[in-house]
Amino acid sequence: MILETTVKSLNSLAFAVVMVLIIMSSGCLQSSTNARADNIASLNGTGPIQAHYSPGDITRMSTTAIEQANASFNTIVNTPPEQRTFNNTVLEFDRVISDYLDAVQPLALMGYVYPDTEISAEGMSAEEANQIFKTATYSRRDLYDAMTGQVPRTTEESRLYNVTIREFKRNGLNLPEDRLSLVRAKKANLSGLESQFTANLNNDDTKLEFTAEELSGVPASSLATFNQTTTGNYIVTLKYPDYLAVMTYAVNNETRKKMYAANLNRQADKNIALLEEAIVLREKIAKELGYNTWADYQLDGRMAENSSSVMAFLSSMKEPLMEKNKSELAELLEIKKKLDPNATAIDPWDIAYLLEKQQKDQYDYDKEKVREYFPLDSVLQGIFSTYGSLFGIQFDKVKSTQVWSPEVQLFRVSNQSDNSTIGYLYFDLFPREGKYDHFCENTLIRGRMKDGTYAVPVVAIIGNVHAPNGDIPSLLTPDEIETILHETGHAMHDILTTAPYGTLSGTNTEMDFVETPSQTLEEWAWDPQVLESLSGHYTNTTQKIPSELITKIIAARDVGLGNEYSNMLAYSLEDMRFHSAEGPVNTTDVWFQTYKEILGMEPLAGTHQPATFGHLMGAYDAGYYGYLWSKVYALNIVNDFKNAGMTNRTEGMKFRQEILAKGNMVDGNEILMNFLGTKPGVEALYQRLGITVPQITS
């Protein structure tokens, strides 16, 4: 499962400029002290997953995994009815599908990260084959019949049974065989469209050429990372570090406009058609399955339950967010008029540039100087220390030959109490050609009970920050720190799970709950004590960031908050409008209408933002609202931490045990009630936004 960072979690400044850079377990519940089977042992200490491949390897391994899983499923089906038990049907199904996913998820990852294009293409094909296989599996009537009616013996088994059977029903087991076959075929076609869309964005190599004068204002540290032509011009990619530097600092309006347009037109000639075909196909599948819309189909079984409740939630936020954004745009226009007395309106490519000006004017600090206090290694060690304090764990770097690129780092995660291994965590954080160009967390091996012990989870965090340049290490902005905390929040959800079943462990929760832990832990980036602990000037890491600078950074965070959340609202509405429509959708028109309605600015003619909206072809279709939805939950949890202390071990262990450990063994609503002691209210979100809304109800 690939969990992508919402553009929001890059904070308002990056949110305004990135514009969605795509995207990319039997028995009773075990305690966190259970012995875990160390996956690394089977690889002679070289690494928890295979990371080096020759041409043909991934295709062969993917095919073998499918064949083995189908053989095991056939064994379940061929067991005589009188000999079927819960163990050899439902529990065996969970074992087989989990073994299969453990085999193929590392292969699919290579489609996003492997430096060799031939191997990478095999990885993308393996991901597409995986989606087709899962669709075929969960629409097998013989498997459904073999498991239906089996009697669970424990609460945990009841949960597994109910979730598993519901997934089969959602895939059309109530349909006659001819219509079920049609749904299978349409879903297989849909998987192909989604994989191609993602591959197109991963392989995008758009570059723009600018003179030094056109890049006036861009920091020397960023210019030093750009390639140059023989004439001295700069070659700028659309990778996140390049794009953000130009959009934030380039004085030349036309330079920013060109970058903005190029970013929103990435792969538009291919991806718009793929997305629009997928939307129509999804609607047809939903109708076949008995749902009014694809949104209603996707929301069945989630916390929101149906599209009406999602639209009511989003609609309730429109007026307060639009008013806040309107007032912010008025402030930015005044700043723009000081630079250009003839200015009459704000353009989308102005936002990041003007927000930076506003932050500098109001809080008087140099962001480039701030980055010097946050070298990547110091930040990671600080995050590890913070999580260690909260969750009673530690991180140790592993020297491994099993990394797909030399800059990838691998860490072993263990309990402080007994040094027992509880997980492995890969970090792949620097841009390179052909690599996934945003941030995401990838589940490679699920935690679960297996062969009498608890299998060790393995996850990978993929990101794109400035790579080291000469003697200068990778230096992070506070927004990038928030993003890494967000992704490591997903990683903690996967690594600290104690769910006994692979299909219910870690981040395998309701999609509108899954962002809750990550959006909770990203808030640690804005705690003064934590921020200081992450710092250390790159020339002398014992030199911590001054407290007065921390105060300014945290205060400046709120600049552009209305724009940040209005963008989230616009993306959420765009998604829901796509997937609630009848018939073909002109995605660019819908986006233009939605953007103008919510952001109050004219979109740039000739751009095609939906072509770059990777979430909608990467498992977040009719689900992008989940970032706003789960932010409500996250901020309620954060308020509890603020009362107890952001690094309070008691509160941290409660979060580990009541939320991170549970996976999908309990409904999200019950998890929240158990942790908070009350139903979470939307007031926490409005409080965070500085919005006063009378008579707010949750």
Q: Tokens standing for 462?
A: 């993929």
Q: What is the pLDDT of residues 2-33, one digit of tens each?
A: 676 664 444 444 444 433 333 333 333 233 33
Checking if the pLDDT of 474 tops 80, the result is: yes
Decide: 630 and 518 in contact? Cβ < 8 Å: no
pLDDT of residue 104: 98
| Range 426-434 average pLDDT | 94
| Range 225-250 average pLDDT | 95
- CA 360/CA 363 separation, integer angstroms: 5
The CA-based dihedral angle spanning residues 378, 381, 385, 386, taken in that order and rounded to the nearest 10 degrees = 70
Q: What is the pLDDT of residues 294-312, one digit of tens each?
A: 999 999 989 999 999 999 9
- CA 185/CA 171 separation, integer angstroms: 12
Q: Is the dihedral of CA 554, 558, 560, 563 positive or negative?
A: positive
pLDDT of residue 29: 28
Q: How big is the chain, counted in residues? A: 698
pLDDT of residue 662: 97
Checking if the pLDDT of 139 tops 60, the result is: yes
pLDDT over 70 percentage in the chain:
93
- CA 591/CA 606 separation, integer angstroms: 12
Identify the band that residue 698 occupies on the pLDDT scale cut at 50, 70 and 90.
very low
- CA 126/CA 66 separation, integer angstroms: 10
- CA 695/CA 698 separation, integer angstroms: 10
Angle of CA points 360, 361, 363, to nearest 5°: 65
Q: Tokens standing for 179?
A: 């219509």
> Which H, E and C letters describe 266-313, residue by residue?
CCHHHHHHHHHHHHHHHHHHHHHCCCCCHHHHHHCCCCCCCHHHHHHH
Checking if the pLDDT of 278 tops 90, the result is: yes
Structure-model confidence comparison of residues 372 and 240, the more confident one: 372
Q: Is the dihedral of CA 198, 200, 205, 210 positive or negative?
A: negative
pLDDT of residue 47: 83
For the chain, the average pLDDT equals 92
Identify the band that residue 357 occupies on the pLDDT scale cut at 50, 70 and 90.
very high
Checking if the pLDDT of 696 tops 90, the result is: no
- CA 612/CA 275 separation, integer angstroms: 10
Domains of the chain: 47-201 (1.20.1050.40), 205-264 (no CATH)
pLDDT of residue 400: 83
Checking if the pLDDT of 438 tops 70, the result is: yes
Q: What is the pLDDT of residues 34-85, one digit of tens each?
A: 456 554 443 444 689 999 999 999 999 999 999 999 999 999 999 999 999 9
pTM above 0.85, yes or no: yes
pLDDT of residue 21: 34
